[in-house]
Amino acid sequence: MPRSVAAHHQAVVELLTGVPANKGHLTLPLLEALGKVLAVDLYAPLSLPPFANSQMDGFAVRSADIPDGGAELRVAEPVPAGAAAPALKPGFAAPIMTGAMIPEGADAVVPIEKAIPNTFPDPAVKDAVVELPPAAPGTYIRERGSDIGKGTLALAAGTLMGPAQLGLMAALGLTTVDIRQPCRVLLVTTGDEVVEPGQDLTSGKIFDSNGTLLEASMRQAGLEVVRAGISDDRPAALLAVLRRHTGTGADRVDLIVTTGGVSKGAYEVVKQAMADQPVEFLPVAMQPGGPQGLGTFDGVPFLGFPGNPVSCLISFEMFLRPALTQVLGTPAPRPVLRARLSEPLTSPEGKHQVRRGTVESNGTVRMEGGAGSHLVHALARANSLVHVPGDVTELAEGDEVEVWML
């Protein structure tokens, strides 16, 4: 009886609780922290905005100078963005640009479109005047600290660092960030038929796509990836690779992931290499990604993904990625949507099928390629994973399905 997807997900979560969650801190330049987790609470070293500034190109005014019917004011020196503004005298309106500092005394901005004339006067012209409508105090002014006040909590420890969080740090003038030391994973692809891209492709050989596919996925998920190249189908060769990274030295990893060599063939190298280890090889009621290995190798948590490229990617998305989020707080979960099928689907009985699809802006999803787990080109066209639960064998056009956005 195959194990359910939910039970295998739980087994992977339990396996990952053996991975050290707190491995210390690392200080990185902002952009290198993308996808990593903030290690400490971060307090704002300054207020944002740091000074009151204009939200519009227009005229900075003293609101009390303009009665209900509007007023004609004398035009003061312009205030460009980036300059320190001189105080605004009563009866004057200062041309001001978006982002420029509000002059002392001014308490509102009237956009240029509402001025008569509705263009800025030539600064060379002396004694220019402008007619302006009234503006309530505070109009189009972005107050100092209205986004965040100096000394308040900007980001809490445990925050996942995405573009917005890193952008906030840059706005606060920071150049580095303390992140949690990421989990270190050893990735080994296997198979006598698999060769590195760039090498000669002789008869019967294929290029290693899994290494790149999974390393990219893992890096995106905030993991530090150690690549040990491709192991051939000799268990002794694979054991030697793994043992270089399971000792007590600096090369030790927190997690091992292999691809291939886990099903029913005559030369299942991963299965054979794990013979003396507490590792189970089992079918999960899922397609692709049915055959799975899970356990520990010399005490290091181990996951054996199947060799077909789509199978190993779906194994990562279904089990490792969500478990990393659950246990270590990174990466962000995949957005989950409901979409209507733009075509009918069939699915094997008793297996949770994961198809690849493209969600369109009208809320429908169309399949990219068939169910085959070798279809990397179709995977590359897809923007989502389409889920057909194990108890569903047929779906009609227009039926709703769960999709995970990639």
Ligand X SMILES: Nc1nc2c(c(=O)[nH]1)N[C@H]1C(S)=C(S)[C@@H](COP(=O)(O)OP(=O)(O)OC[C@H]3O[C@@H](n4cnc5c(N)ncnc54)[C@H](O)[C@@H]3O)O[C@H]1N2
- Of 325, 306, 324, 323, nearest to 315 by C-alpha is 306
Question: Least separation, in Å, of the C-beta of 234 and ligand X?
Answer: 14
Residue 306 in the binding site for ligand MOO (CB under 6 A): yes
Distance in Å, CB of 289 to ligand MOO, minimum: 5
Show contacts with ligand X in window 185-204 (CB under 6 A): 189, 191, 193-194
Cα separation, 87 vs 105, in Å, equals 6
Work out what residue 259 binds among ligand X, ligand MOO, none; the CB cut-off runs from 5 to 8 Å by kind: ligand X
Region of 25-33, 139-147, 159-167, 307-315 interacting with ligand X (CB under 6 A): 307-315
Instruction: Give the nearest distance from C-beta 209 to ligand X in angstroms.
Output: 4
Among 135, 373, 382, 387, contact with ligand MOO (rule: CB under 6 A): 373
C-alpha 43 chain-centroid distance: 23
Does residue 289 interact with ligand MOO by CB under 6 A? yes
Q: With residue 338 as reference, give the H or E element that holds it.
A: strand 336-341
Q: 231, 188 in Cβ contact below 8 A?
A: yes
3-state helix, strand, coil in the chain (%, to 5): 20, 30, 50
Q: Does 217 bind ligand MOO (CB under 6 A)?
A: no
- Which partner in ligand X, ligand MOO, none is near 265 (CB below 5 to 8 A by kind)? ligand X
Q: Is 210 in the site for ligand X (CB under 6 A)?
A: yes
Q: Decide: is 290 part of the binding site for ligand MOO (CB under 6 A).
A: yes
Out of 2, 49, 182, 261, point to the residue binding ligand X (CB under 6 A): 261
- The residue count for binding ligand X (CB under 6 A) is 26
Report the sign of the C-alpha dihedral through residues 106, 111, 117, 118, in that order.
positive
Residue 170, φ and ψ in degrees, nearest 5: -65, -40
**E-strand spans in 5-146?**
25-29, 42-43, 53-54, 58-61, 71-75, 92-96, 108-111, 129-132, 141-142
Q: What span, in angstroms and rounded, lies between the C-alpha atoms of 219 and 196?
A: 19
Is 105 within 8 Å of 92 (Cβ atoms)? no
What DSSP assignment string belongs to 294-321? EEEETTEEEEEE-SSHHHHHHHIIIIIH
Q: Kindly identify the residues of this chain, within the stretch 275-304, that bind ligand X according to CB under 6 A.
A: 288, 290-291
CB closer to ligand MOO out of 33 and 285:
285
**Which of 54, 311, 347, 353 touches ligand X (CB under 6 A)?**
311
Q: Locate the DSSP E strands across 92-251.
A: 92-96, 108-111, 129-132, 141-142, 153-155, 176-180, 184-190, 194-195, 206-207, 224-231
Query: Of the candidates 53, 190, 258, 287, which one interacts with ligand MOO according to CB under 6 A?
Result: 287
Q: Does 229 bind ligand X (CB under 6 A)?
A: no
- Which residues 6+ apart lie within 8 Å of 339 measured at CB? 357, 359, 363, 364, 365, 384, 386, 400, 401, 403
217 lines the binding site for ligand X (CB under 6 A): no
Find the shortest distance in angstroms from Cβ 283 to ligand MOO.
9
Nearer to ligand MOO, 126 or 264 (CB): 264
Contact 88, 35 (CB under 8 A): no
Among the residue ranges 104-112, 219-227, 249-257, 303-311, the one whose residues contact ligand MOO (CB under 6 A): 303-311
> Which listed option, ligand X, ligand MOO, none, makes contact with residue 262 (CB within 5 to 8 Å by class)?
ligand X
- Where does this chain bind ligand X (CB under 6 A)? 189, 191, 193-194, 206, 208-211, 259-265, 268, 288, 290-291, 306-309, 311, 373
- Where does this chain bind ligand MOO (CB under 6 A)? 287-290, 306, 308, 311, 373
